Amino acid sequence: MTKEIILDKNQKVFFVSTPLFYSNDLLHLGHCYSTLIADAITRYKKIQGFQTYFVTGLDEHGEKIYDSACKNKLSIEKFLNKISFETKQLWKDLEVEYDYFQETKSTTHQQLCLRILKILESKNLIYKQNYEGKYCIYCAEFITLTNLEKNNLCPNCQRKLKNLQEESFFWKINHLFSWLKKIYQQEKITILPKFYKLEIEKNFFKNDQLRNLAISRYKANNLIPFLNYQNFYLYVWIDALIGYLSSLQYQQNSKIFNFFWNKNVETLQIIGKEIIRFHLIYWLLLLKQLNLSLPRTILVHGWIINQNVKMSKSKNNSINPYDLIKIYGSSGLRYFLITCFQIQTDNNYSLKVINDYYNSTLVNLFGNLIARVFKMIINYFQGKITNDVVAIKTLKNNSLIAKIKTTITNYTHYMNSYDCYHANKTVLNLLRSINQLIEINKPWILKDKQKLKELLSVWFFAILVIGFLFKPFLAKKINTLFQATNIEIKNVNFFKNLNLNLLMKIEIKKYIILFKRIKLN
């Protein structure tokens, strides 16, 4: 599923993808975390003049999905259609503006999987051999002896492992160990945070070898057939990785693929830390064997912790996003997930955490500042302030304008590094500075009308800048702020021009309360 894309060779190009989420149940807060970070960065890149291509979607094969369909007394097709519809509706309700929604059940994707298998087979990179080992059905992953715990539990989900002994097709990758090690040593791709790069090097490079990977399953349900080999099916993780290529229309639309996936494109792939092995090893090896460019950056985020363990559908501790949208709106949930957590750490979730964060930032700092400044402009100047050329020159020398410029510089630095947490911190610091200035200047007792006009003008301008910087996080909510003034946000780009001439004619069309305080029962 894609929307029409008009390619512009004069623009810089940015590609971003989330994982293709597993379709065994409705999505939860953890899936929203990955997707909203991608959405915020994409919105920022658009403002900076990039042509963007944002991919998300669903991984729709595997035995777990087959089991879930059976439990729900639905056919696989109806079950997958239900999950797909509800996922797209969730992204719509959270204002996620993706360009391509990849579904691995599609015929075009399955055909691409078979074409790639044929390419690998033609290069003698696939061979048949007996396989014996430990397999986690829930993670769809073979567990190596080095990662195996004494209690025979999966190190990822802590469930019992299945002893698997079957004939399998193997993917030959051991000859690429030196190449992969060189990629890491020379930092041909950027892995953020860096300690995940070190983790891969520690756990997989220590023996100076790379094991070939079993990429088929025997007599399994809901998998793609493995070429024409009867009763053999493609390993779900290879299927999912090829999903990224499907979303780029690889071998279907060369214009789209070559435009958005080449060494000159700023490519970013966002993943959770539990799937680093597949993306930081096998994905890179697959691209190498297909003679394709590597991603420029892979951004790994930590887990959202609920009840002291990773949020998971199968652990029954997942949070339905709609429960929070009902309380905080889509903008409140967006802001919380995009800005509250440092991406490199695991982060504890509770209703108290989100409520305290929402009230302390959006209500106390941002919402109250808007209410105070707008109310003063209405009360003291009937909602209208006019500044002549001389007044604008005076405003340019205001100390707050210097702070605004510094904030924009710092915000841009962090967003260019895909760090929404610290980008938001810079804006919050500016908000605190303005609130302090209001307390220091006490405009409600100021008798000098010209001085009052100057203060309110520069505070009003700061609010516009803050709204502009919050746009990638809060999406359409910021339109409400600008609609209350005579300034249209589509005509504003403070990255390019800190246009103080916007203050020549200030008009507050209406008093607004952008965020209301939420009290928990």
Domains of the chain, CATH where assigned: 12-123+177-209+241-348 (3.40.50.620), 351-507 (1.10.730.10)
Strand ranges for 273-354 from DSSP E = 297-301, 304-306, 309-310, 347-348
What pLDDT is recorded for position 136? 78
Q: Are 251 and 112 in contact (CB under 8 A)?
A: yes
Q: What is the DSSP letter of 362?
A: I
* 498: amino acid identity, one letter: L
Residues 451, 449: Cα–Cα separation, whole Å: 5
Each residue's pLDDT tens digit in the chain (521 positions)? 556 788 888 899 999 999 999 999 999 999 999 999 999 999 999 999 999 999 999 999 999 999 999 999 999 999 999 999 999 999 999 999 999 999 999 999 999 999 999 999 999 999 999 877 787 777 767 776 555 555 778 876 777 887 777 899 999 999 999 999 999 999 999 999 999 999 999 988 877 889 999 999 999 999 999 999 999 999 999 999 999 999 999 999 999 999 999 999 999 999 999 999 999 999 999 999 999 999 999 999 999 998 777 776 666 678 899 999 999 999 999 999 999 999 999 999 999 999 999 999 999 999 999 999 999 999 999 999 999 999 999 999 999 999 999 999 999 999 999 999 999 999 999 999 999 999 999 999 999 999 999 999 999 999 999 999 999 999 999 999 999 998 989 889 999 999 999 999 999 988 899 999 999 88
**What is the phi/psi pair of residue 232, to 5°?**
-110, 140
Site of tokens 């623009």: 11
Say whether 263 sits in a helix, a strand or coil.
coil
Residues 140, 85: Cα–Cα separation, whole Å: 24
C-alpha radius of gyration, the chain, whole number: 26
Pair of tokens at residue 107 = 């015929």
Residues 337, 36: Cα–Cα separation, whole Å: 7
Site of tokens 């303005």: 434
Q: Residue 332: which residues within 8 A CB-CB, separation 6 or more?
A: 324, 358, 362, 515
Residues 35, 102: Cα–Cα separation, whole Å: 13
* 458: amino acid identity, one letter: V
**What is the phi/psi pair of residue 136, to 5°?**
-100, 115
Say whether 41 sits in a helix, a strand or coil.
helix
What pLDDT is recorded for position 149? 57
Question: Cα separations (Å) of 43 from 50, 311, 378, 480?
Answer: 10, 27, 33, 18
Residues 185, 175: Cα–Cα separation, whole Å: 17
281: left (phi over 0), alpha (psi -120 to 50) or beta: alpha
Q: Please tell me the pTM assigned to this model.
A: 0.94
Q: For the chain, what is the largest distance between any 2 Cα atoms, rounded to a whole number of angstroms?
A: 88
Of 218, 216, 220, 257, give the one whose Cα is nearest residue 237.
216
Structure-derived torsion over alpha carbons of residues 57, 200, 310, 474, reported in degrees to the nearest 10:
-50
What pLDDT is recorded for position 319? 87
Say whether 404 sits in a helix, a strand or coil.
helix
What pLDDT is recorded for position 145? 58
Residues 166, 235: Cα–Cα separation, whole Å: 13
Q: Are 160 and 143 in contact (CB under 8 A)?
A: no
